[in-house]
Amino acid sequence: MKLINDIPDRFWGLFRSVNRSAYIEALLKINEEYEYSNYFLSQEMCIQILADYFAKRNCVIWRDEMEEEKDTMDPPATRVLNWLVKAGWLRKVDDYASMTVNIVIPDYAAVMIEAFFKLTSEEEDETQIYIQNVYAILFSLKNDPRAGAGLLHTALVNTRKLNKTLQDMLHNMDKFFASLLEQKSYGDLLRDHLEGYVEEIVKKKYHILKTSDNFYLYKNDIKTWISAMREDERWLLEICRKSKDSITVEEVEEKLDQIERGFDYIEHRIANLDREHSRYIRATVTRMNYLLNQEDNMKGLVIQLLNRLSKEDDPEEMLKEVGERMNLSQMTILSEKSLYKRKRPRVKFSENLGAEAEEEELSGQDILNLNKLKARYSKGEIEEFIGTRMMNGRMEVTENTVTNDEEFDKLILAYDYSTRRKSLYQVENQDARLIDNGTYRYPALVFVRRNT
pLDDT in tens, the chain (452 residues): 477 778 888 888 888 888 888 889 889 888 888 777 656 788 888 888 888 888 888 777 888 777 777 777 888 888 889 889 988 899 888 887 778 888 888 888 888 888 888 777 655 556 667 777 888 888 888 787 777 777 888 888 888 888 887 777 776 666 666 666 666 676 677 666 656 666 566 655 555 555 544 666 777 888 888 888 888 888 888 888 777 667 788 888 888 888 888 888 888 887 787 787 777 777 777 777 766 665 555 666 667 777 777 777 777 777 777 777 666 555 555 454 544 455 666 666 566 665 565 666 666 666 655 555 555 678 888 888 888 888 888 888 888 888 888 888 888 888 888 888 788 888 886 666 788 888 888 888 888 888 76
> In whole angstroms, what is the distance from residue 151 CA to residue 137 CA?
6
Considering Cα of 183, then 186, then 192, then 193, what sign does the dihedral take?
positive
Cβ contact 340:298 at 8 Å: no
> In whole angstroms, what is the distance from residue 379 CA to residue 383 CA?
6
Cβ contact 265:295 at 8 Å: no
Compute, in degrees rounded to 10, the torsion defined by CA atoms 431, 433, 435, 441.
50
> In whole angstroms, what is the distance from residue 115 CA to residue 99 CA?
34
DSSP string, 334-387: SSTTSS--PPPPP--GGGG--PPPPPPPPPHHHHHHHHT-TTTS-HHHHHHHHH
* Residues with Cβ within 8 Å of residue 245, at least 6 apart in sequence: 149
What pTM was computed for the model? Answer: 0.44
The DSSP bridge partners found for residue 395 are: 447
> In whole angstroms, what is the distance from residue 419 CA to residue 442 CA?
17
